[in-house]
Amino acid sequence: MDHLTIAGEHFTSRLIMGSSRYPNPQVMMEALEASETELVTVAIRRVDLSKNSEENMLRFLNKKNYKLLPNTAGCYTAKDAVLTAELAREALGTNWIKLEVIGDDETLFPDIPELLKATEILLNKGFVVLPYTNDDPITCKKLADMGCAAVMPLGAPIGSGMGIRNPYNLQIIRELVDIPLIVDAGVGTASDVAIAFELGVDGILLNTAVAQAEHPVEMARAINYAAKAGRLAYGAGRIPKKLYATASSPLEGIIGSKVD
């Protein structure tokens, strides 16, 4: 079976879906169902954790038994990220954390020194750490060697919809790490998803591409199909790229142009 395995847990879907910026909870739930995801991220600093709140999206997610992946979105220091992760563990009863330590408000690129610091602390505290990072092979290798459950390099800036901007780095990262490689951020549409999987990534985390689409449910369904197609294509093995043409029909036995 072609499962996504993270920290010993198996998922039949290779899509990890976000839960923010949807028009309303009903659209969110329909889109998640269309994507066939089993793992959904929740921004702990931006979600109302009050059990009695009408706006508490956790009420909706828990009804469908999605595995929740809390994240530290909105954190700019290792200290804030660690505190947020500990809050998530207490509130949601999970030691899984998608670790984000952002460098600035303009690019939303990760602050690598703070990310590495937070990773070390959380691993020592028993967390299953899935860090959002840039597409730097060296940083990803460091995170893997530290003991992270996966590495999650960006495909493009968060929410940009620019797709996979540096496929060559992703290919290098794929060769360097033997833990799950999950593209996190930048996906804009279904073709971006197919391309990423054809490069050999193990999974994709996305939010804006679906939540802010004109028709979120249809986009979620399209991305689901693209993920399956891209994964199948990667396993099938594409033909090598060539500069010149190669005839698709065999040349042996071809009728000659010379007339006797």
How far is residue 110's CA from residue 159's CA, in Å, rounded to a whole number?
A: 14
How far is residue 153's CA from residue 258's CA, in Å, rounded to a whole number?
A: 60
How far is residue 14's CA from residue 36's CA, in Å, rounded to a whole number?
A: 9
Residue 245 CB burial class (10 angstroms; 0-12, 13-18, ≥19): exposed
How far is residue 7's CA from residue 130's CA, in Å, rounded to a whole number?
A: 10
Per the annotation, the verdict on 98 as an active-site residue is yes
**Element containing residue 42 per DSSP (H, E):** strand 39-43
From the CB of residue 144, how many other CB atoms can be counted at a distance below 10 Å?
20
In the set 79, 98, 117, 242, the catalytic residue is 98
DSSP string of 119-171, one letter each residue = HHHHHHTT-EEEEEE-S-HHHHHHHHHHT-S-BEE-SSSTT-----S-HHHHH
CB of 154 within 8 A of CB of 147? no
DSSP code for 239:
P
Cα 123-128-132 angle, rounded to 5 deg: 90
Would you name the residues annotated as active-site residues? 98
